[in-house]
Amino acid sequence: MHKRFVTIWFRHLITDWLVIRQPALSDVPFIVVAKDRGRLVITAANILAENQGVTVGMAAADAKAIIPGLQVIDDRPGQAAKLLKALGEWCIRYSPIIAIDLPDGLILDVSGCAHLWGSERAYLKEIVTRLRSKGYDVRAAMADTVGTAWAISRFGQVTPIIESVGQATALLPLPPAALRLEPTVLQRLQKLGLYQVSSFIRMPRSVLRRRFGESLLLRLGQALGQEDEVITPLQVVQPYQERLPCLEPICTATGIEIAIQRLLEMLCNRLREEGKGIRTAILKGYRIDGKIVQAAIGTNRASHSIHHLFKLFELKIAAIEPALGIELFVLEAPKVEDVPHIQEALWAGKPGLDDLGVAELLDKIGGKMGAATIHRYLPDEHHWPERSIRPALSLREKPAATWRNDKPRPTRLLTRPEPIEVSAPVPDYPPMLFRYKGKVHHIKKADGPERIEREWWLEDGDHRDYYNVEDEHGQRYWLFRLGHYAGGQGNQWFLHGFFA
C-alpha cells in the first residue's frame, strides 16, 4: 500500500487550551512563563501578545515593558505532552496510527484512510475543521513522507496536499528550517547564504556531509522518501482490527446493532480464512463529544461464529451510551486462537466439552453473570484435598491425571475448612451431632474414618481423619478431626465439603 502521512501543527497549543478553559482570556494578551536560571522566560504567547511583538524565549519582564497590561500565567511542566496525547486519542477516529510530535504536533499515518471521506482534500478539511471548531488554531498537510508533510504544515504557502512523488518540488522554495534541522546546522546554512532548500538540495552528498554533518542528509533523505522514518504510535494497532466510520452519528440501539453486525462479518470472515477464532473482543465507539465508550466479550473457546459473537455483544448494547452520537466503531480482537476443524455430526449421543453448543452456552452465561462465575477444574496429583484439584485454563485443556474414584469425594470442596463444634464418642467413632453456623445437625448415618496424611515434602502438621456423614434432613457432609484423639483435652473438628 502506498504510504501517505498527515502532520497537524497546533500553532498555539497551550494558549488555545487555556482560552478553551477560561473564555475570558480570548480578548486579552497573555503569556505562559517558566523559570530559567533565576528569571521568568516565555514558553507560550497568545496571538494578541504575538501581534504586539512578544515572542517565545523572551524574558517576561521585557514582554511586560512592551505590553503594560499583559497577563502572566505559570507554565505546567508536561502539559503539552498531555494535551497532544488526548488530541491524538481523539484523532484515532481518522487513522489507527497516531504519533505525538513534541512540542506542538501530531503525525498520522493515513494510508488507505482518506477514501472513506471521499477524497484527500475532504479528509484533510474534515480534520482541520473539527479541530478548529474545538478552539485550536491548526495547520495540516498531507504528503508521501512525514518530513514533507511536516515542512508544508509549518512553512507551506501554496497547497496543503502534496501529490504522490511530488515532495522534492514542494520542498525547493522552503527555508532550511522546514527540514527539522538542529539550530547549529541552520546557523551554518544561514552564514553561507543558503536560505532555501533549493540552494543546496542538488549539492553532492559528500560536500553536505563534510560541511553540515550526517543529520542534514538524514533529514533530507527522510523528507524525500529516500530514508525510512519510524513513528511510535500512541496505541499499538491490534493485528485483528476492523473500523467502521459512520456518515451520520449513530444514536440508536438499532444503529449500534447494525454496526456490530458489519464489523463481525468483516473480522470473522478474515479469521475464518486464517483458521483462527476470537477469545476476547473489544468494541470501541468514538463519540462526537470526544469520549470513547466500549464493550468487551470473552469466549471459552475460540470462535468465528458471527451469530454467536453477535449474541454476546447484544447483551452489552444497553450499557453503551451514544450520547450525541457515535461517529466511528472499532472492533479489535486482542486475543485469538487457532480453531480446530471439527466435523459436524447429524447426531451426537453424548455432547461434552468439545461440543460447540456447550461453549456457546457458557459464553452466554458468562456474558450475563460475568466470566468469574464459571469455573472448570481438573484433577491434580496430590493426596491433600486442597491440592488435589486445580483450575483449568480453557475448555480444551486436557487433564494430566485421572479423577480419583476409589473413595467418595464431595461435589463442593470449601477453599478453607471451617471449624465446627462436634459431639463424638471415643476414640474413632463418627460424630453424633455437629453445630455449623449456629445450626445443630443430628447425624443419622456415617462412614469413616479415612486418614489423610500431609505431604511431608511440602509442609509439616497433623493428619486428618475424614468422615462422610448424613444428617436428619438427608444432607451429606465431609467432616474431619485434626490429629490423633486428644482425650479430655478435646479435638479440633472441621467441615470441608458438601456432597450433592
Gyration radius (Cα) of the chain, Å: 35
Write the CATH number of the domain with boundaries 1-28+69-237. Answer: 3.30.70.270
The pLDDT mean for the chain works out to: 88
Which CATH architecture describes the domain 241-343+350-367? Answer: 2-Layer Sandwich (3.30)
Average pLDDT over residues 230-239: 85
* Conformational region of residue 457, where left means phi above 0, alpha means psi within -120 to 50, and beta covers everything else: alpha
Q: How far is CA 167 from the centre of its chain?
A: 35
Residue 199 clears pLDDT 90, i.e. is over it:
yes
pLDDT recorded at residue 130: 93
Q: Give 260's contacts (C-beta < 8 A, 6+ positions apart).
A: 283, 310, 313, 314, 317, 329, 331
For residue 290, give the nearest of 328, 238, 332, 233 by alpha carbon. 328
Strands 39-45 and 30-36: antiparallel
Confidence of residue 401 (pLDDT cuts 50, 70, 90): confident
Q: Which residues are paired to 337 by β-bridges?
A: 277
Please answer whether residues 496 and 417 qualify as being in contact, where contact means their C-beta atoms are separated by less than 8 angstroms.
yes
User: For 437-478, what is each residue's pLDDT tens digit?
Assistant: 989 999 999 988 889 988 888 888 889 999 999 999 999 999
pLDDT recorded at residue 460: 86
pLDDT recorded at residue 301: 85
Q: Give 198's contacts (C-beta < 8 A, 6+ positions apart).
A: 172, 173
pLDDT recorded at residue 254: 93
Residue 348 clears pLDDT 60, i.e. is over it:
no
pLDDT recorded at residue 418: 93
Average pLDDT over residues 151-158: 93
Where do the structural domains in the chain lie, given as residue ranges? 1-28+69-237, 241-343+350-367, 412-498
pLDDT recorded at residue 41: 94
Q: Which residues are paired to 326 by β-bridges?
A: 250, 287
13-27, 297-311, 398-412: least confidently modelled range: 398-412
At residue 41's C-alpha, the angle toward residues 37 and 47, to 5°, is: 170
Residue 346 clears pLDDT 50, i.e. is over it:
no
Domain 1-28+69-237 identical in fold to domain 241-343+350-367: no
Average pLDDT over residues 252-279: 93
* C-alpha cell of residue 173: 522554495
Q: Which residues are paired to 285 by β-bridges?
A: 293, 329
Confidence of residue 365 (pLDDT cuts 50, 70, 90): confident
Residue 347 clears pLDDT 50, i.e. is over it:
no
Give the containing element (helix H, strand E) for 262: helix 253-274
Single-letter amino acid, residue 131:
L
Q: Which residues of 78-120 form beta strands (DSSP E)?
A: 97-101, 105-109
Please answer whether residues 335 and 371 qualify as being in contact, where contact means their C-beta atoms are separated by less than 8 angstroms.
no
User: For 100-114, what is each residue's pLDDT tens digit?
Assistant: 999 999 999 999 888
Give CA–CA dist 171/400, Å, rounded.
67
User: For 284-326, what is each residue's pLDDT tens digit?
Assistant: 999 988 889 999 999 888 899 999 999 999 999 999 999 899 9
